[in-house]
Each structure stands twice: as structure tokens, then as C-alpha cells.
Amino acid sequence: MIDFRVRLRTSEALEAWVPKPIPQFERYIDFYKMKPRLTYQTPEETIGEMKAAGIAKAVLCSGSKKGNRFVSKMCEKYGNFFIGIAGARLENGIMNAYRELKKMLKAHFLGFNFGGLLQNPPMAIDDKKLYPLYSLCVDYGVCAIIHSSLHYYSGARLYLNHPFRIDNVAVDFPDLRIVMSHAGNGFGDLPLVLAQRHPNVFLEVSALRPKHLSQSYVTAMNKYLSQKFIFGSDYPLLPFTIVDEWKQCVNQENHRRFFQNNAMVALHGRKK
């Protein structure tokens, strides 16, 4: 199995959470009962937890230049277990972000991770300033993982994150593989419409529990959109044992797609 969104529990990886979370993450600790999982542990210990849950590889998503260096180090040291996705921040200008992303894609990172509400200042996920970065992803044949779901940080306007903006990006970049992080949670059935409408739009379910899904989502992932849903935990928001709940939600015949194949298509454009 591939877990499409994992954060390690080293001091570098948790600096936005420990000892005091940044404002964007404050509400998540109690909401997800995270405190037992916000202690430090080695990458080897995290890999051990992954293996116990049946997870062979984890996608590490960066959000900044500093994060890119950390993810790069982890992928270099534990290459059999981690897949690197680059981040870039725009407060220092689009050209700096462009150069940083290009550098990481040249270093064989497999995508670009972007959260508009975490930028300073927050920005829309279809802002034209981002288009050179999306273009880079197309040129390098990698995916863009875009946060386009409910976010509990009330210091930025949620409309910047609205999944309907994914439609604008998908129309302007039909060859870009777009992964909607957290499956567009909080916006009704619109994300399902986007995944059905656009061949290259995927829905990744990290930080979600199956029991909270609407019936329309369960039907879509088991029937007409079974090739679009991707497993993710967002560990340590949720423990790796969330795998067991998803195994009960996803029909047995779709397990290979949900836990592995769809992730490979999103990352590589084909099954490897």
C-alpha cells in the first residue's frame, strides 16, 4: 500500500506543531486527538508503524524550501519507503518559488504540494501567479497536490480554497495530474463532479474517516470513480490504523486501485 500524505515525527517535521502549533493548525490537535502522536520519534520508528499497517511507501509533502531540504534528506536515506513532493512559498516572489520548484523537480521529486491558506498572505489556488508552477509540473510530467477542502483555520477566507477553483486549473492545464487533497471534503458532491469531468483530477482521502463520508462518496469510490480515489492518512493527524477502516469501506475488488494503483497513476501517469 501507498499512503499519499504522511508527516514524520522528527523535530524538523513537527516544528509547526510542537511545542506550540502555528495558528493554522491549532484546532486540529483536539479535533483529531493528536497529542499522543505529537511526540518525537525516529523515521525508523515511523517506518515500523507503516509496516505494521501494511503500508510500503509514504508520500512526504513539503510546503517550503526548508521542508524540501528535509524531505530530500529523508528520501535519500530511506528511498525504499518515501516519495518526495516539493513545496514552494510565494512571499518572496514567483521567480524564487519557480526556481526552487524547478530545482526539486530536477532532483526527481514527483510533484508540487500547495496550500493557498498557508501562504503569507493567503492566496487562491487558481491565482494566475501559480500558473508558472503548474506549467513546470506539466513540463516535468509530475502531479500537483492542491489543498481544496475544508480547513479549520478561520484566519483566511475559505473561498480561496474552494474546490470549484480546481475546475479553472484543470481547464487551463488539461495535461496536469491534479490531486485534490482531502478529497474536497466539506463542499458536498462538487469534488465528485470535478473528478468525473476531468480525466486527470484525483481525490485523495487523507485526514478523513470513512464513517463521516456521505453515501454519494462511498458509491463513487466503489463504482463510477473507483479509478480516482487515493488512500492517505495524513499521519499523525490520523494513525496508520485508519487503513483498517478504509478496508471496510472500499469494496474488496477495488482495494488494489484505492491503496496502490491510483496513487501510481497520479504520480507517474501510468502504473509502474
**Chain mean position to CA 3:** 10
Question: Beta strands 111-114 and 57-61: pairing type?
Answer: unpaired
pLDDT, averaged across the chain: 96
Distance linking the first and last C-alpha atoms of the chain: 14
pLDDT number for residue 109: 97
d(CA 148, CA 224): 22
Assign 161 a pLDDT band (cuts: 50, 70, 90): very high
Can you point out the beta strands (E) in 148-259? Answer: 177-181, 201-204, 229-230
Identity (one letter) of the amino acid at 168? N
- Domains located in the chain, CATH noted: 2-268 (3.20.20.140)
Burial label for 78, CB within 10 Å (0-12, 13-18, 19+), is middle
78, pLDDT greater than 60: yes
Q: Which of 92, 82, 212, 222 is CA-nearest to residue 149?
A: 212
d(Cα 193, Cα 190) in Å, to the nearest integer? Answer: 5
Q: Is the pLDDT of residue 185 over 50?
A: yes
* Model confidence at 257: pLDDT above 80: yes
- Rounded to the nearest angstrom, the gap between the alpha carbon of residue 59 and the centroid of all alpha carbons in its chain is 8
pLDDT tens digits along 194-237: 999 999 999 999 999 999 999 999 999 999 999 999 999 999 99
Which residues face 87 on adjacent strands?
Answer: 113
For residue 272, name the pLDDT band (cuts at 50, 70, 90). Answer: very low
147-152: average pLDDT:
93
Q: Is 191 within 8 Å of 163 (Cβ atoms)?
A: yes
Residue with cell 480546481: 166
Indicate the Cα dihedral angle 195, 196, 200, 202, nearest 10°: 30
Q: State pLDDT tens for residues 132-144.
A: 999 999 999 999 9
Instruction: Say how far residue 174 (Cα) sits from the centre of its chain.
Output: 20
- The DSSP code for 188 is T
Q: Per residue in 59-73, pLDDT tens? A: 999 999 999 999 999
- Kindly report the three-state secondary structure assignment for every residue of 65-122: HHHHHHHHHHHHHCCCCEEEEEECCCCCCHHHHHHHHHHHHHCCCCEEEECHHHCCCC
CB 228 within 8 A of CB 203: yes
Q: What is the CA radius of gyration of the chain?
A: 17
Beta bridge partners of 82: 58
Burial label, 128 (beta-carbon count in 10 A; 0-12, 13-18, 19+) = exposed
Give yes or no for a contact between 183 and 208, defined as CB atoms under 8 angstroms apart.
yes
The per-residue pLDDT for 208 is 97
Question: Which residue, 113, 116, 114, 134, is CA-closest to 60?
Answer: 113
